[in-house]
Structure 1
Amino acid sequence: MLVLLPPSEGKAASGRGAPLKPEGLSLPGLAEARAAVLDELVELCAADEEKAREVLGLSEGLRGEIAKNTELRTAGARPAGEIYTGVLYDALDLASLDAAAKKRAATSLLVFSGLWGAVGVADRIPSYRCSMGVKLPGLGALGAYWRDPMAEVMPEAAGSGLVLDLRSSAYASAWKPKGEVAERTATVRVLHAPTRKVVSHFNKATKGRIVRSLLMAGSAPAGPAELVDVLRDLGYVVEVEEPAKAGRPWNLDVLVDEVH
């Protein structure tokens, strides 16, 4: 099972340990593309703070993020699962998983990123600011920039089992499963049951809880149909929209009344 996650806009501070080692990141086939984004981002933020703030879409109150980007090569690095924060990651709560579940997380979770393309939760990275919606002057829109590199590495990363795609639309634009990979891919939408509407907090928190439940249970469903059964066994209310045509993912709706 491979789980695709969005990052968080807010991030924890960089660590005090060793700095980034690009060669140590998952998906080494992305190394060249990562280096190009890193070079341009650091150069932009070091050369013109005001332009960098505009390009990165930062408010005046987030101006400090620009200085942080200039130090990406030298700042201490921490596991990505500690860097990313927010509702989904609070609900996932990687730090409190038992040893076996942590091992499963390290091998099955990929976080998509405007800067890195995608990283594993155990990959050590510095804190940064660069969303997938950013359009860098030299490389263009990052969602489009990452499509070719991701198309090269992701089919192999997807292996032969389930792909559980929990990314937001901006990050989903960087790679869309095709062919037989798409047929074993499931996307999840979380709906507030009384209103049948997507509510951001419910959506993010429930996705985090779903991933945590799967990791704790040691579940490795082979495909979308098996995932539906597993989620229902774990107590989730799931409605299924099977693909009308071959080569397309399954769409699952998880219904929630409230999130604790």
Structure 2
Amino acid sequence: MLILLPPSESKSNRRRGGPADPATWSFPELAPTRARVAEALAEVSRSPDAPALLGVSALLLDEVARNLVLGTAPATPAAEVYTGVLYDALGLSSLDTAARRRANRWVVVVSALYGAVRPRDRITAYRLSMGATLPGLGPLAPLWRPALDEVLPDAVARGVVVDCRSAAYAAAWRPGADLAARWVQVRVPGASHFAKHTRGLVARHLCVEGADPRSVPALADVVARGFDVRLHEPAGPRAPWVLDVAAP
């Protein structure tokens, strides 16, 4: 199984410790693209117009400044860097040993800076969204698409792609034709802010249940043990299944 999550806008970082070592991160094949994005991001972040170029408020200069110390700031597990509604609901730190082990294997965060990371990868906090355009690189989603297509299919193995990403991050990678039949988007009808919370709960539920279904209908049965669900078949040959989820 591959559970795809978006990053959070809010991020935290440890105050002490050694810097991140990119050689230890999951998906080492992404290293060249990671380096290009980090270099372009640092250049933009030095500009007086950095907030406008990055599409953030001028009140977030402290967060933009994080982009200038990516190589020296204390490394922090991605499980701690990403915070907020979805990650509070996922509650990685409160999982038991077996569920945490599954989360470390199944959960992947799609990132505008790092491409894709797992919860144990020791990274640093940053300010960059997938909707940004960096000088010399262009829009980030198309930039990451071929790189992610090299690594994420293998991470799926024989399981299901459980897609909990927002639209901007979903644009960075879509499963190919060979995986489309095992791709399901988790949707929370009639919700916005609460949708993040519910998707976090779904991801947690899957890690706790421990089942690794080989088809989307079987995945829906697992989710139905904790939620009210309605499964919709794909709208086309390369479109995902859609799983509507609501708390019971």
* TM-score range relative to shorter protein: over 0.9
Structure 1 stretches of at least 4 aligned residues deviating more than 6 Å after TM superposition: none
Q: In structure 2, do the counterparts of structure 1 residues 34 and 60 end up closer, same or farther at CA, with 3 Å as the change threshold? A: same
The one of 216, 230, 241 aligned to 1:239: 230
Deviation of 1:91 after TM superposition, in Å, equals: 0.5
**Does structure 2 retain, via aligned residues, the 8 Å contact 1:178–1:248?**
no
Q: Which residue of 2 aligns with 1:64?
A: 62
**1:30 maps to which residue?**
30
Q: Counterpart of 1:88?
A: 86
Of the candidates 159, 164, 181, which is equivalent to residue 161 of structure 1?
Answer: 159
- Counterpart of 2:185 in structure 1 is 187
Judge which range, 214-223 or 111-120, deviates more. 214-223
Pairwise CA distance, 1:245? 4.0
> What residue identity is the alignment partner of 2:38?
L
- 2:119 maps to which of 118, 121, 126: 121
How does the TM-score come out when normalised to structure 2?
Answer: 0.96
CA RMSD of aligned residues (A): 1.3
Following superposition, the deviation at residue 14 of structure 1 comes to 3.8
Alignment partner of 1:121: what SS? Answer: coil
CA distance in 1 between counterparts of 2:5 and 2:22 reads 20
Which amino acid in 2 is paired with 1:254? V
Per-residue Cα deviation, 1:131-185 (whole angstroms, up to 9, x for no partner): 1011001101111111111122222222121110110000000001111211101
Distance 2:173 2:12 in 1: 26
Looking at structure 1, the residues matched to 143 and 238 of structure 2 have their Cα atoms a distance apart, in angstroms, of 24
Q: How does 1:195-234 map to 2 (within 5 A)?
A: 197=190, 199-232=191-224, 234=225
In the alignment, which residue of structure 1 is the partner of 2:75? 77
Q: Distance in 2 between matches of 1:117 and 1:178?
A: 18
Q: How many residues align?
A: 248
CA contact (8 A) 1:15 1:126 kept: no
Q: Which stretches in structure 2 are left out of the alignment for 5+ residues?
A: none
Alignment deviations for residues 51-90 of structure 1 (CA, whole Å, 9 cap, x no partner): 2111111212111112211001000011101100110000
Alpha-carbon distance in 2 for matches of 1:156, 1:15: 35
Confirm or deny: 8 A CA contact 1:15 1:78 kept in the other structure: no
Instruction: Work out whether residues 198 and 246 of structure 2, in 8 Å CA contact, stay in contact via their aligned partners in 1.
Output: no
Q: Which amino acid aligns with 2:83?
A: T
2:139 corresponds to which of 127, 138, 141: 141
Provide the identity percentage. 48
1:42 match: 42
Counterpart-to-counterpart distance in 2, 1:235 and 1:37: 40
Range with bigger deviation, 145-154 or 72-81: 145-154
Could you tell me how far 1:15 is from its partner in structure 2?
Answer: 4.3
The alpha carbon displacement at 1:244 in A equals 4.5
Q: Distance in 2 between matches of 1:244 and 1:172?
A: 17
Q: Deviations over 1:206-238 (max 9, x none)?
A: 111111111112121222110111111x23111
- CA distance in 1: counterparts of 2:136 and 2:233, whole angstroms: 41
1:55 is aligned to 2:53:
yes
> What aligned pairs does 1:4-15 form with structure 2 within 5 A after superposition?
4-15=4-15
Aligned to 1:194: none
Contact 1:14/1:127 (<8 A) preserved = no
